[in-house]
Amino acid sequence: HFQTNIGAGKNPQILLFQIKIKNYCSIFTGYLMNERAEQIVHEFPFASWLCAMLHCFGSYILADLLLGQSPIDYFSNNSSVILATAVWYLIFFCPMNLFYKCVSFLPMKLVFVAMKEVVRVRKIAAGVHHAHHHYHHGWFIMMATGWVKGSGVALMSNFEQLLRGVWKPEKNEILHMSFPTKASLYGTILFTLQQTHWLPISEANLIFFFTIFMIVCKVFMTATHSHASPFTPLENLICPVFFGSVSSGHTSHHHDHHGASHEVSHPSPAPAKTKEELNEGSRKRKAKKAE
Amino acid sequence: HFQTNIGAGKNPQILLFQIKIKNYCSIFTGYLMNERAEQIVHEFPFASWLCAMLHCFGSYILADLLLGQSPIDYFSNNSSVILATAVWYLIFFCPMNLFYKCVSFLPMKLVFVAMKEVVRVRKIAAGVHHAHHHYHHGWFIMMATGWVKGSGVALMSNFEQLLRGVWKPEKNEILHMSFPTKASLYGTILFTLQQTHWLPISEANLIFFFTIFMIVCKVFMTATHSHASPFTPLENLICPVFFGSVSSGHTSHHHDHHGASHEVSHPSPAPAKTKEELNEGSRKRKAKKAE
Amino acid sequence: HFQTNIGAGKNPQILLFQIKIKNYCSIFTGYLMNERAEQIVHEFPFASWLCAMLHCFGSYILADLLLGQSPIDYFSNNSSVILATAVWYLIFFCPMNLFYKCVSFLPMKLVFVAMKEVVRVRKIAAGVHHAHHHYHHGWFIMMATGWVKGSGVALMSNFEQLLRGVWKPEKNEILHMSFPTKASLYGTILFTLQQTHWLPISEANLIFFFTIFMIVCKVFMTATHSHASPFTPLENLICPVFFGSVSSGHTSHHHDHHGASHEVSHPSPAPAKTKEELNEGSRKRKAKKAE
């Protein structure tokens, strides 16, 4: 799939096998953090296995859905499915949890997290390629396909939770974007601009630099258990200009100032809408609604 | 898309551009009526933009889903997406709300509403055509495709609300049909009957008369802020005959009589099921359920 | 569809017509058991009809969705849709409930239940065939397609309920499998093993024996109003070995022992995880989660 697009010669079968195993380990240790994941694996092993498959292959399912192809097309790779099943089984059912202890050991975990970001960036690039193949000038389609390839199961989190019997409609990944989803969105825009020759950089260089950026961010966030997004300073510069307020991804430091003013640490060059103008606009629209 | 089916010569590019702008304006002023639409646009601009795109292109998404094609196929029209994005931005972020004030000015609003109905009827006809092209004798498929083209985002309202973090499962457009959805349903039946030569009328005449009917109804309902459906008298005549009760679209006038009797203002020619017969049938079926 | 795959010569048109009627009768008497089905048919006849169509054709819709084809492709068979509509109308609106009384008469009901199982097994076989035609070596795709063909609307029960205004996210057919869904899952695995020549049995024999098994089970369960699953003894033998606990489908007899020990009536040959080991593993994983 993606490796043939980017350069199959550089990824021998054995290396690909190792990358896949590490990717699945990283996915499942993340999967364990989900609500009820631990509980349902013993009571409802089939549902747990199906959730695990969604976590591993959700990106392919969503990309195929967007492009009107069979959503379970990737499941024709029997070896990948069997490999993911074996990793899932070992993580949950290995005697004395040996396998889970190995993959959770912090240095190992950081290696897996780095591998996962390598895979993610390559998937985004492959998604943009795949959409470009079907729609040569469909920029929005390329961006959408790259985005779902990068974000994977996170974008269908509501329905993956529904499979586990959990339903939380007030939150979803598009409303409250986690770091990987947001990074995939920015990445897919960059890759689409590169594909349509608006960004003067070669694909290999863009993959390299974006992968380095993602690895550094994720390894740092995993090692320090931090949730601060590296995009926040840039968003706090741009969003007040275009959207008249701080973005939802602002840090707790800005929370204190949120009530006082919409202009925070970076004075914006263009005249931003003041809070009074926003309220006046909202009041007038609400008055019209009431009619 | 639809304009090439119906007669591209009659719609020069400039007129099409104007029709699209008015269509998007009308869609977004309706979108503003939705719960939390105002609130999320400042906090979550990306989710708001995605909802706006669903409102503009929901009909194409649903029709493509029904016919097994890529649901984001219409997004290959980059100019339409950029135009819709520009209208969305101007409505929500124009300084001092100038743009919103212009489009909400009642005479302008009525023009936009009329334009929206012209577009809706043409979409229904195009949907029936499109399905006929794939399934020459698939009457139900033609009706379904025309219906989703006419109703648009309303038919996926539950999931469009979910995107905004709102979940109201007790209501949906199929259970409680709004006027546009019901009109699209009746319209798609008429257009399918015309397509399969059961209705002896030319397509151009049917489009003309149905468009006039829709414009008159919607302009009247918008100008008087009325919610009365023009279909209610006809439904109250037919439904007691076939389904043994008044339809759910009855006016408030009938609400008072609803508890007393199932037969209201129009005595039906065929013997309708009396309330006692209905209850007896229900009681027997419930008794069987309890076994 | 399925009859051409298996052997059209054995199913003349009249016999097929009779089988379809009995299948639809059986489906609708089951549909009546659903929450609010009785209530909505008089108030919301269109929504009721749409639910009824989902119940009849849900298997075809899901299989087409999985294989990336038009989900309403089966609705091109106008005669099947009209026949199902006629049966739906007669069941709900026949004067004095004559039709419903006929189909609920226990000997008739058992005939219909048997017919439904004949249809189900043939659908599973046809689903595996259909997927095999598209993916010659996609074992998981074949199993998935056969499974959704056998289970039908049950697998989308959450969304079929949503159409009726009911939302119960804590339950779904994958978490809490009913007997038909579980039997379809085991059946599709058998049919896929047969299709890929791992199971040394002819397709006709497999269809025959599996149909006999399903008819015997369902007729017994319908006649005695029992909910005991015939798979429970086998699952209670296998699940403790592989998944370290009894399956969720255990009978009430085992409920009393559930708290005391994970090993029930059948001592497993391989060393199963003891409750202490499970708890230790869970505790360690939860400790890591809290970090």
Q: What is the mean pLDDT of chain A?
A: 80
Helix (H) or strand (E) holding B250: none
Residue C65 neighbours by CB distance under 10 Å? 19
Residue C92 has pLDDT above 90, yes or no: no
Do C66 and C144 meet the contact criterion of CB atoms below 8 Å apart?
Answer: yes
What mean pLDDT do residues C274-287 have?
A: 48
Residue owning tokens 């996609």:
C138
- What pLDDT score was predicted for residue C99? 80
- What pLDDT score was predicted for residue B91? 85
Q: What is the mean pLDDT of chain B?
A: 80
Q: How far is CA A291 from CA A285, A286, B104, B224, C203, in A?
A: 10, 9, 12, 11, 67
- Where is pLDDT greater, at B289 or B39? B39
Confidence category of residue B273, pLDDT binned at 50, 70, 90: very low
Residue B206 has pLDDT above 50, yes or no: yes
What mean pLDDT do residues B12-36 have?
A: 73
Helices B179-195 and B106-134: crossing angle in degrees, nearest 10, is: 40
Residues of A with CB under 8 A from a CB of C: 32-33, 38, 40-47, 50, 64, 68-73, 75-76, 78, 81, 93, 95-97, 100-101, 104, 162-167, 225
Using left for φ > 0, alpha for ψ between -120 and 50, and beta otherwise, residue B84 falls in: alpha
What mean pLDDT do residues A257-278 have?
A: 38
A61-75, B2-16, C170-184 — which is least confidently predicted?
B2-16
- What pLDDT score was predicted for residue B139? 96
- pTM beyond cutoff 0.80: yes
* Of residues A140, A244, A285, nearest to B93 (C-beta): A244
> What are the structure tokens assigned to A171, written together?
């939150």
Name the minimum distance, in Å, from the CA of B272 to any CA of chain A. 41
Residue C117 has pLDDT above 60, yes or no: yes
- Furthest CA-CA distance within chain B: 67
d(CA A144, CA A189): 9
Do A143 and A196 meet the contact criterion of CB atoms below 8 Å apart?
Answer: no
- What pLDDT score was predicted for residue A33? 65
B13-22, C199-208, C218-227 — which is least confidently predicted?
B13-22
Confidence category of residue C22, pLDDT binned at 50, 70, 90: confident
What mean pLDDT do residues A124-153 have?
A: 96
What mean pLDDT do residues C129-142 have?
A: 96
- What pLDDT score was predicted for residue C263? 35
Answer yes or no: do A42 and C277 touch at CB < 8 A: no
What string of DSSP letters covers B232-247? HHHHHHHHHHHHSS--
Answer yes or no: do B42 and A278 touch at CB < 8 A: yes
d(CA B159, CA A263): 34
Answer yes or no: do C47 and B239 touch at CB < 8 A: no
Q: How far is CA B162 from CA A171, C78, C162, in A?
A: 9, 34, 13
Confidence category of residue A256, pLDDT binned at 50, 70, 90: very low
Q: C77: closest CA among C57, C63, C58?
A: C57
pLDDT in tens, A23-77: 777 777 677 666 666 777 888 999 999 999 999 999 999 999 999 999 999 999 9
Q: B21: closest CA among B73, B106, B88, B66?
A: B88
Residue B289 has pLDDT above 70, yes or no: no
* Of residues C78, C97, C165, nearest to B140 (C-beta): C78
- What pLDDT score was predicted for residue A34? 67
Chain B residues with beta carbon closer than 8 angstroms to that of A243: 41-42, 45, 93
Using left for φ > 0, alpha for ψ between -120 and 50, and beta otherwise, residue B178 falls in: beta
Residue B68 neighbours by CB distance under 10 Å? 19
What mean pLDDT do residues B1-5 have?
A: 41
- What pLDDT score was predicted for residue A23? 75
The domains of chain B are located at 12-241
- What pLDDT score was predicted for residue B266? 36
Residues of B with CB under 8 A from a CB of C: 65-68, 134-135, 137-141, 144, 158, 169-172, 174-175, 177, 185, 239, 242-245, 247-248, 273, 277-278, 280-282, 284-286, 288-289, 291
* Of residues B33, B42, B162, nearest to A289 (C-beta): B33
A145-149, B61-65, C153-157, C247-251 — which is least confidently predicted?
C247-251
| Selected residue of C149, C172, C175 to mutate for chain A interface (largest A Cβ count, 10 A) | C175
B43-57, B82-96, B176-190 — which is least confidently predicted?
B82-96
> What are the structure tokens assigned to B160, written together?
């469009």
Chain C residues with beta carbon closer than 8 angstroms to that of A98: none
* Secondary structure tally for chain B: helices H, strands E: 14, 0
Nearest chain C residue to B258 by CA: give it: C43
Q: B234: closest CA among B226, B224, B242, B225?
A: B242
Name the minimum distance, in Å, from the CA of A149 to any CA of chain C. 18
At residue C28, φ and ψ (nearest 5 deg) are -75, -35
Do A164 and A37 meet the contact criterion of CB atoms below 8 Å apart?
Answer: yes
Q: How far is CA C143 from CA A159, C187, C254, in A?
A: 22, 9, 31
Residue C260 has pLDDT above 80, yes or no: no
Answer yes or no: do B93 and A172 touch at CB < 8 A: no
A208-212, A259-263, B117-121 — which is least confidently predicted?
A259-263
Chain A residues with beta carbon closer than 8 angstroms to that of C178: none
Residue C128 neighbours by CB distance under 10 Å? 32
| Selected residue of B38, B62, B97, B224 to mutate for chain A interface (largest A Cβ count, 10 A) | B97
Nearest chain C residue to A88 by CA: give it: C243
> What are the structure tokens assigned to A2, written together?
């993606």
pLDDT in tens, A12-34: 777 777 777 777 777 776 776 66
Which chains, if any, share at least 3 CB pairs under 8 A with chain C? Answer: A, B
Chain B residues with beta carbon closer than 8 angstroms to that of A68: 64, 68-71, 73
d(CA A186, CA C57): 42
Residue C62 has pLDDT above 70, yes or no: yes
Confidence category of residue B172, pLDDT binned at 50, 70, 90: very high
- What pLDDT score was predicted for residue A1? 40
Answer yes or no: do A44 and C175 touch at CB < 8 A: yes
Residues in chain B: 291
Confidence category of residue C100, pLDDT binned at 50, 70, 90: confident
Name the minimum distance, in Å, from the CA of B222 to any CA of chain A. 11
* Of residues A138, A139, A174, nearest to B163 (C-beta): A174
Residue B280 has pLDDT above 80, yes or no: no
Residue owning tokens 């990948």:
A80
Residues of A with CB under 8 A from a CB of B: 65-68, 134-135, 137-141, 144, 158, 169-172, 174-175, 177, 185, 239, 242-245, 247-248, 273, 277-278, 280-282, 284-286, 288-289, 291
Which chains, if any, share at least 3 CB pairs under 8 A with chain B? Answer: A, C
d(CA A163, CA C259): 26
Do B194 and B139 meet the contact criterion of CB atoms below 8 Å apart?
Answer: no
Rounded (to 5) percent helix, strand, coil in chain C: 75, 0, 25
Answer yes or no: do C175 and A45 touch at CB < 8 A: no
A and C: number of Cβ contacts within 8 A? 92
Chain C residues with beta carbon closer than 8 angstroms to that of B177: 46
Residue A2 has pLDDT above 90, yes or no: no
Confidence category of residue B251, pLDDT binned at 50, 70, 90: very low
Confidence category of residue C284, pLDDT binned at 50, 70, 90: low
Residue A31 neighbours by CB distance under 10 Å? 23
Chain C residues with beta carbon closer than 8 angstroms to that of B135: 76
d(CA A255, CA A259): 8
Chain B residues with beta carbon closer than 8 angstroms to that of C70: 66-68, 134, 141
Nearest chain A residue to C250 by CA: give it: A43
- What pLDDT score was predicted for residue A122? 95
At residue A129, φ and ψ (nearest 5 deg) are -60, -50
Residue C172 has pLDDT above 70, yes or no: yes
Nearest chain C residue to B132 by CA: give it: C76
